[in-house]
Homo-oligomer: A and B are copies of this chain.
Amino acid sequence: MTLNADTIKVACSNCNLRELCMPVGLQPQELQRIDDIVATRRKVRRKETLFASGERFTALYAIRIGVFKTQVTAEDGREQVTGFQMAGEIMGLDGIVNDHHTCDAVALEDAEVCVMPFERIEELSREVTALQRHVHQIMSREIVREHGVMLLLSSMRAEERLAAFLLNLLQRLHARGFSASELVLRMTREEIGSYLGLKLETVSRTMSKFAEEGLVEVNQRHVRILDADALRRLVNPTVCA
């Protein structure tokens, strides 16, 4: 049997993201059972949306390749980036409550996701306890993450926000096998600003300030972290003092 690249059926059980993604913590025999929650794969090109606010909710999506942003739009048009997602992370949880999505998911570079019909997830997680628990954990993790963002938005100054953002990205990229000190931003200054509650000029200025102080080396979207500890001290003034 020959298959071309587009039709290869890649199962969770032999996916190289299984340590990060949906199958985390499952036993081998459970792993096989969830292989068929991935109905299809879908490619999304840069700047295209995976799903948009208002669309019917049918599935959760696990990122295989690429980085996404999710954003909500207020009735008056103001946009707010609610997160940046990368390989192994799950998108679409917002759609469960009203059967319709309430945010957009936009690819920041050419990307590929696993489509997991939610009906099928619910079916399977009635039988596979570990999957049920895992789904609950994914949603809980998102809630906890957002608590952190609220803290950031509500009480941190620009420098602290950007430092926290860079360290967070770095840590997640490192967990995926990338450098612990270098990163390429897939998002614009404006998108970073939207996420952090700052204007793009402030993001730019703060980045420049970090560079002047020797904390980072910035070249457009390429960032090298020179003094991660100093950034950590910024995020957490008293603890690391």
A150 surroundings in chain B (CB, below 8 A): 72, 80, 82, 146, 149-150, 153
* Measured CA separation A97–B126 after assembly (Å): 19
The A77-100 residues at the B interface (CB cut-off 8 A) are 77-78, 80, 82, 93-97
Contact of A72 (CB < 8 Å), options: B122, B139, B147, B239: B147
Report Cα–Cα, A102/B146, bound state, in Å.
Answer: 12
Provide the residues of chain B in CB contact with A102, threshold 8 Å: 144, 147
Question: A117-146: contact bitstring with B at CB < 8 Å (1 yes, 0 no)?
Answer: 000001001110100110111011111101
Which residue from chain B places its CB closest to the CB of A97 in the assembled complex?
A: B140
Q: Which of A23-45 contact B (CB under 8 A)?
A: none
Number of chain A residues close to chain B: CB under 8 A: 48
Copies in the complex: 2
For the complex, what is the distance from the CA of A181 to the CA of B133, rounded to whole Å? 42
Q: Mark A187-203, 1 if CB is under 8 A from B, else 0.
A: 00000001111000000
Task: Report B-chain residues with C-beta under 8 Å of the C-beta of A154.
Answer: 80, 153, 194-197
Q: Report the Cα distance A122→B135, complex, angstroms.
A: 11
Could you say which residues of chain B place their CB within 8 Å of the CB of A132?
122, 125-126
Question: Roughly how many angstroms separate A126 CA and B135 CA in the complex, as a whole number?
Answer: 13
Q: What CA separation (Å) do A133 and B75 show in the bound complex?
A: 28
Determine whether A236 belongs to the interface, using a CB cutoff of 8 Å to chain B: yes
When C-beta atoms are compared, the residue in chain B nearest to A78 turns out to be B155
Interface residues of A (CB under 8 A from B): 72, 74-78, 80, 82, 93-97, 102-103, 122, 125-127, 129, 132-133, 135-137, 139-144, 146-151, 153-155, 194-197, 236-239
Query: What are 7 residue pairs bridging A and B, where the CB atoms are less than 8 Å apart in the complex?
Result: A72-B151, A80-B147, A80-B151, A80-B155, A122-B133, A126-B129, A126-B132
New A-B pairs, 16, CB < 8 Å, besides A139-B139, A139-B143, A149-B150: A74-B236, A75-B236, A75-B239, A78-B151, A80-B150, A80-B155, A94-B143, A96-B136, A102-B147, A122-B129, A122-B132, A125-B132, A153-B153, A153-B154, A153-B197, A154-B195
